[in-house]
Chain A
Amino acid sequence: MNIGKFKWLFGKNSEFWPTNMKTGMWAWVGHRLTGIILVVYVFMHLSFLSTASVNDKSFANLMETTAQPAFVFADFLLVCAVIYHAMNGFRVILFDMGIGIRKQKLVFWIMMAISAVIVAVAFYVLFNEGLFKGEWF
């Protein structure tokens, strides 16, 4: 494989080099990255459930495993990915309908503000009522 072929993807002159990317490009890259993560997760979701549906005990084991702090945190990150993907997706659909395309940066930050609120609520519910049950320390 010829490494030079990928110069457009990596390197300082690439449109994907962080300092070369502007708001819209970050939004686009984020949408692709969260998309890939979510596709991988869907297959994991099905595969875990298929092993858990063998009998009551394996389902109980899965529930016990996923209640561990590391899994709750991963669950939270997953919810963040879903929220970002959904909110930026709304932005894309708005542009498809010809709404707000000239103010795409502003629309992006409005969507991110809405996302932040939903993420905060999800964080509170998952950690306060789920993992720590109101006793953080």
Chain B
Amino acid sequence: MTEQRIATSKVAGSWAWFFQRLSAVLLVVLLTVHIYMDHYAEVGADITVGWVHERLGQVLYIAVDYAMLAMVIFHGLNGSRTILFDFDVFVKRKKLVDIGLWILGIATMVWGIFVLLPFIEG
């Protein structure tokens, strides 16, 4: 059983493994800033569309927000993939799962880009 699991995780690929770690480290930094700036720094203050719009006037904020979104989608979906295969779910349909997750991920990214646009445009 154990040997089989080790073999399975090898097939999952070192590419996915490496980017899961890289996105993890970057997300710890970016999410700390995001959660602090958006939820803690001015806790209790009146948050309005104007306030969000003003912040997003800085290109750095937009870049960080979109970078964070891309990494969170990758990390979350790749993590879900790991969980599925750990529990031997769809292991025989790996290619199909990968294609499905890429489509879901790209669709979510496009959706996320459009969600933020009205706040940027104001």
- Known contacts A43-B108, A53-B119, A82-B31; decide if A36 and B80 are in contact (CB<8 Å): yes
* B77 contacts chain A at the CB level, 8 A cutoff: yes
* B83 contacts chain A at the CB level, 8 A cutoff: yes
* A111 contacts chain B at the CB level, 8 A cutoff: no
* A89 contacts chain B at the CB level, 8 A cutoff: yes
* B43 contacts chain A at the CB level, 8 A cutoff: yes
- Known contacts A36-B83, A79-B35; decide if A42 and B72 are in contact (CB<8 Å): yes
Contacts of A54 in B (CB 8 A): 118
- Known contacts A38-B76, A39-B79, A53-B115; decide if A133 and B24 are in contact (CB<8 Å): no
- A57 CB, min distance to chain B CBs, angstroms: 9
A46 touches B108 (CB 8 A): yes
- Known contacts A59-B48, A133-B44; decide if A32 and B83 are in contact (CB<8 Å): yes
* Contact-residue size bin, chain B (C-beta under 8 Å from the other chain): 20 to 34
User: Which of the residues B27, B48, B80, B86 comes within 8 Å of A60, measured between beta carbons?
Assistant: B48
- Could you tell me which residues of chain B, from 66 to 104, have a CB within 8 Å of some CB in chain A? 72-73, 76-77, 79-80, 83, 86-87
**In this complex, what residue of B is CB-closest to A96?**
B21
- Could you tell me which residues of chain B, from 38 to 80, have a CB within 8 Å of some CB in chain A? 39-40, 43-44, 46-49, 52, 72-73, 76-77, 79-80
B48 touches A75 (CB 8 A): no
- A88 CB, min distance to chain B CBs, angstroms: 11
8 A-B pairs with CB atoms under 8 Å apart are A39-B80, A42-B76, A50-B115, A56-B48, A63-B46, A86-B28, A93-B25, A130-B44
Q: Using CB atoms and an 8 Å cutoff, list the residues of chain A in contact with chain B.
A: 9, 32, 35-36, 38-39, 42-43, 46, 49-50, 53-54, 56, 59-60, 63, 75, 79, 82, 86, 89-90, 93, 96, 122, 125-126, 129-130, 133
Q: Using CB atoms and an 8 Å cutoff, list the residues of chain B in contact with chain A.
A: 21, 24-25, 27-28, 31, 35, 39-40, 43-44, 46-49, 52, 72-73, 76-77, 79-80, 83, 86-87, 108, 111-112, 114-119
